[in-house]
Amino acid sequence: MQVRAINFKIIHGKLLDFNDIVEELPQQPTVSTVVELAAEVDDVRNTLRILRSDPRNCEDENFDAFTWRSGLWMATRFSNPILRARCIHSLEKQNLRADQYLWFYREFDITDWADKVVDLLSAPSTSLTIDEINNMGTDLLAVVIVEREGRLKEEAQRLKEAGQQLKEEGQQLKEETQRLKEETQRLRNELEMLRPAKRLRTRRT
């Protein structure tokens, strides 16, 4: 396989899942068969690293998001559904930021990430950046705005209910304090009544 004048020796079986590459292969490929790919060298190298690894031995954990991006690009560009699914699954374990999820979602049309992207971008605690707004497109932006407004209303209602609860608890505390104050005064009065009456002393004449 030749990419930008660089040759890669690849076992024929490694290419069989790339449907678009298989179409370029002759019916009887030989060791001298060369297929030219319009791709980046780093993407090919990273993809070959992925293909040589064994996910059953947890080797996928050694790759970063950039490596999986390369594999996903190759899988999408040259139609390898198995590798594409593997790359997407592994990217989900990378703790991507909201803007990274958005980029992958739009760049590679990962429809299964739609709900995840909306959820991350709709968090009231985060502010949308200009790049995120521009990358969303009008349809997704409209969904995110509606979702954010809904969550803000829910948060406002929750705070309102929490404030009302605190107000009620404060009133109950005030009433309880008043009751204890009255009870204390009553006990003092009863204690005063139980004391022996003072005897009047008369002077001796």
Predicted pLDDT at 121: 85
**pLDDT for position 69:** 96
Q: Over the stretch 33-89, which tens digit does the pLDDT of each residue have?
A: 667 788 889 999 999 999 988 877 777 778 999 999 999 999 999 999 999 999 999
> Predicted confidence band at 120 (pLDDT cuts at 50, 70, 90)?
confident
Asked if the model's pLDDT at residue 32 lies above 70, the reply is no
Q: Range with the lowest mean pLDDT among 16-25, 94-103, 133-142, 190-199? A: 190-199
Share of the chain above pLDDT 70, in %: 89
What amino acid occupies position 9? K
Q: Does pLDDT of 179 surpass 70?
A: yes
**pLDDT of the residue at 27:** 65
Contacts of 31 (CB under 8 A, 6+ apart): none
Dist CA 86 CA 83 (whole Å): 5
Q: What's the rounded mean pLDDT across residues 129-148? A: 81
Predicted confidence at residue 52, as pLDDT, reads 87
Residue 40 or residue 157, greater confidence:
40
Q: Who wins on pLDDT, 178 or 192? A: 178
**Residue 13 has which token pair?**
């079986």
User: Rounded mean pLDDT of the chain?
Assistant: 82
Query: Which 3-state string (H, E, C) describes the chain?
Result: CEECCEECCCCHHHHCCCHHHHCCCCCCCCCCCCCECCCCHHHHHHHHHHHHCCHHHCHHHHCCHHHHHHHHHHHHHCCCHHHHHHHHHHHCCCCCCHHHHHHHHHHCCCHHHHHHHHHHHCCCCCCCCHHHHHHHHHHHHHHHHHHHHHHHHHHHHHHHHHHHHHHHHHHHHHHHHHHHHHHHHHHHHHHHHHCCCCCCCCCCC
Whether the pLDDT of residue 203 is over 80: the answer is: no
For residue range 78-110, list pLDDT tens digits in order.
999 999 999 999 999 998 988 899 999 999 999
What confidence category does residue 204 fall into, taking pLDDT thresholds of 50, 70 and 90? low
pLDDT at 86: 94
Rounded to 5 degrees, what angle do the CA atoms 102, 108, 113 make?
Answer: 50
